Structures are given as C-alpha cells and as structure tokens.
Structure 1
Amino acid sequence: MLLQIDQILTPEECDAIAEAVSPEALWRDGKETAKGEARTVKENRQADAGAPAVKGALSKIEAALSTHPVFQAAAQPASIARMAINRYGEGMSYGDHVDAPYINGVRTDLSFTVFLNGPEDYEGGDLVIDNAGHEDAIRGAKGSMVLYPSRSLHRVEPVTAGARLACIGWVKSRIRSAEDRALLFELEAALADLKQARAPLSVYNRLMNIRNNLLRRFGE
C-alpha cells in the first residue's frame, strides 16, 4: 500500500528543521550510507546524524510520527530502524534501487519520505515508486509524507533547479503482512468515521473488539 499523508509537520516546523540543519559543515556525501550497487546510483548529501542539531531535528520528526493517527494506523510501527535527513541539489539524483531488508539489525517493512520543503522550492526531484508495475511520481507538499513498502523499486529523479530537502526513514511494523496492514487500516478508518458520526457506543465497541482481536491475531 502506497499512502500519502498530509501535515505530518507544520510549515513552521519544517522551516525550523531546515534552519537547524542549514550549516554546510553538517552535510556529508550520501554515498557513505549506501551499500552495494546503490552506491553507484546515489548522488545526494546527507546530514550528519551524530551532530546535535541533526539529532534534535530527527527527534522532532519522530515525535510527530509517534502521535500522528494516520501514520500510526497505516504503519502499525513496532520500531523505526533509522531516519536521516537528505538534500538533493542541482544535478543530484538517486537511481533505481530497493532498500535494504534490515537496517541496524531491524527488519524494514515500510519506507517513508517526509518532505521538508515544497515543490515550489525546486524543479525535478520526483520520488518515483513502482506500484505493482505502475510508476507513481510524487512531489509532496511541505510537511507531508509518502509511506510505501520497502520492497518497492524506487528512485529520485534529478533535481534541475533549487534544492530538495527531506527526511527518510524505515519502519518495522508489528503487522508483518502488507495485506493484513491494509485491512486493519481500513478498519481504523471505519472506526474513525463511526466516531465522527456519533454512532451508538455499542456498535463502536463491537467493531473495536474485532479490531483488537485482529491485532492479536496478525501481530508478532
């Protein structure tokens, strides 16, 4: 399931993160974190994850993810394997690749990109994801996210003007099956609709019980 989620971060939060990581001394060659064939197609810059300013920025993004209801419902996160902030300047790109199955010893079920600036700030730089044989090209609004299976072939098209700033990350889900996650996500959406419609509590609770039992059945 490929899902675009609005307003993971506010524009003001994005601007604050961009300002915090703006010093050029914080940036490294993105090839340093690529392995195998990915090194040959990766051309970007990555913020030094050990720098206090970058650690603080990543902590803010992780905190936002931990409280965002749509991300939580869609990803069912058990843990985040790793997060990083990257930047694509003019001429930079990342060719077709598939993410590693394990990062820092953690299985990667889902990958995500949180866009820290908007498409009006750069040209090119589309995130292109193979979705069951169809390619989806995504240029997310500032503060939005795209969440997709880590097994998907994907790339970042060359940036032709400006600079593209984003946070990327990898999630281990407590629901290993993508089909089961999709089913539970639809159920969560139905529960939210029932709550919004002020459905009788008895109906809501019956569906909530089904959801909880499915979590027990599907979860690791």
Structure 2
Amino acid sequence: MMLHIANVLSAEQVHALRQTIDSGPWSDGRASVGEQGARVKHNRQLPLDHPVAQQAGATVLAALQASPHFFAAALPLRIGAPLFNRYEGGETYGLHVDGAARREQSGWLRTDVSCTVFLSEPDSYEGGELEVVDTYGSHFVKLPAGDAILYPSSSLHQVLPVTSGVRVASVVWLQSMLRDDAQRRQIYELDQSIQSLRSQYGDGPEVLSLTNLYHNLLRMWSQM
C-alpha cells in the first residue's frame, strides 16, 4: 500500500530542519548500503551518529508518531533512526530494493514499510521523483515539503536524477505489527471506515461491532 500523508511537518518545522541540516557534514551516500545499492546510489547523506542528524531525526520521529494516519497505515512496532539525504547536480539512486533488515542501535529491525518525508518544495528542483514499482506499474512521487509517502519496503524503487536545484528528504524504515502488506491495507481501510462512521453516527452498535472486528483481526495477525 502506498499512502500520501500531508503536513507531517509544518512549514515552520521544515524551515527549522533545513537550517539545522543544510550546513551539516554531508558525506557519500554509499556508506550506508550494500554492494548492490552502492552500484546505483549517487547522493550524499548525514552520518547517522552525527549530532545534527540525531537532533533532526528526533524532530521527524516525533512528527510521524503524532500523525494518526501514519500510525493507522504503518502500525509501527519499531522505527529506525531517520536518514537524511541530499541530491543535486545529476545525483540519483537507481532502481533497488531496500535490505530486509537494518542494524539499529537497539538491534536488528525488519524493514516492512519505508517512509520518505520531503524537505524541499517540488518547484525548487527538477527531476528527483521517487519512482515506486509494484504490480500496478510505476508510481512517481514528488510531494510538497513536509509531506510523506509510505510504501512497502519490498517494492523496487528509485530516485530519478536531480538535474537542477537540490532535493533534500528524510527516509525512515519501520517494522510493523503486521508483516504482510495486504493485511496492513485491509486493517487501514477498516480503520478509516470506522472513523468515518463514528464521526457521522457516533458509537452505535454497528460501529462497535466493526471496532471489535478491527481489534480481533489485529490481535490475530500481529507479529508482536
């Protein structure tokens, strides 16, 4: 499931983040990938252990965790440290798949869901679309600064070359309570239906019945 989440970060938060990270110690992005990724990755990133990346990462994590849509769609069990990347002058990250697991300070994290939070306005750079390939074809994503896109980590994807301007984004990987993407989609759609019905009719018997179904499915399918 791909999901666009608007306004994860406010304009003020984006501005403050860019002030924090733009002068940071950007380094070769190939340092954080394996052999396959290194052949197609040409960008720069902030080292995860640098204080600038950790300070900015805390802001991104807090904003994501405050988003009801992020929680409903991703059902995060564990969230990795945000990575900040930067593309300009033709830099790109060719077609690849994210590794099945990432080593975090707290141990290994299974990558079920990938999340890109855009930190550059789309009219400030040319190219740089995130292309996600699934069974329905290719989807090209270029969102306003502060918006996020969720997509399965199992998807083939790439960042197209940035031919002018600068593309800055944060990428987060998470391990979900539900490993299976189809189950996450069904749970999310059920949740959204419940929220819509509740706003119209309150907690009537039908809404309570659907809420019971939601929690029983989550209890049955979850990997916790």
TM (normalized to structure 1)?
0.96
Shift of 1:111: 0.8
Shift of 1:82: 3.6
CA RMSD of aligned residues (A): 1.2
Instruction: Give me the whole-angstrom Cα distance separating, in 2, the residues matched to 1:33 and 1:52.
Output: 17
- Give the corresponding residue for 1:12: 12
> Please, which of 154, 157, 178 is the counterpart of residue 157 of structure 2?
154
- Give the corresponding residue for 2:80: 81
Q: Which runs of 5+ in 2 are unaligned?
A: none
Work out whether residues 101 and 107 of structure 1, in 8 Å CA contact, stay in contact via their aligned partners in 2. Answer: yes
- Shift of the 33–202 alpha-carbon distance from structure 1 to 2, 3 Å rule, reads same
Instruction: Give me the whole-angstrom Cα distance separating, in 2, the residues matched to 1:82 and 1:56.
Output: 11
User: What SS does the aligned partner of 1:175 have?
Assistant: coil
**Deviations 1:14-69 (CA, angstroms, capped at 9, x unpaired):** 11101001215x21110111111210110101012222222111001101111211
Shift of 1:2: 1.2
Shift of 1:133: 4.8
Work out whether residues 81 and 107 of structure 1, in 8 Å CA contact, stay in contact via their aligned partners in 2. Answer: no
Q: Which amino acid aligns with 2:9?
A: L
Work out whether residues 60 and 82 of structure 2, in 8 Å CA contact, stay in contact via their aligned partners in 1. Answer: no
Shift of 1:200: 4.2
Shift of 1:201: 3.4
Q: Which runs of 5+ in 1 are unaligned?
A: none
Work out whether residues 82 and 103 of structure 1, in 8 Å CA contact, stay in contact via their aligned partners in 2. Answer: no
Correspondence 1:49 to 2:52: no
Work out whether residues 10 and 146 of structure 2, in 8 Å CA contact, stay in contact via their aligned partners in 1. Answer: yes
TM (normalized to structure 2)?
0.94
- Give the corresponding residue for 2:176: 173
Q: Which amino acid aligns with 2:20?
A: A
- Give the corresponding residue for 1:33: 32
Instruction: Give me the whole-angstrom Cα distance separating, in 2, the residues matched to 1:216 and 1:133.
Output: 30
Alignment: residue pair count: 219
Correspondence 1:61 to 2:60: yes
Shift of 1:179: 1.2
Instruction: Give me the whole-angstrom Cα distance separating, in 1, the residues matched to 2:66 and 2:220.
Output: 24
Q: Which amino acid aligns with 2:114?
A: S
- Give the corresponding residue for 1:163: 166
- Give the corresponding residue for 2:23: 23
Work out whether residues 14 and 116 of structure 1, in 8 Å CA contact, stay in contact via their aligned partners in 2. Answer: yes
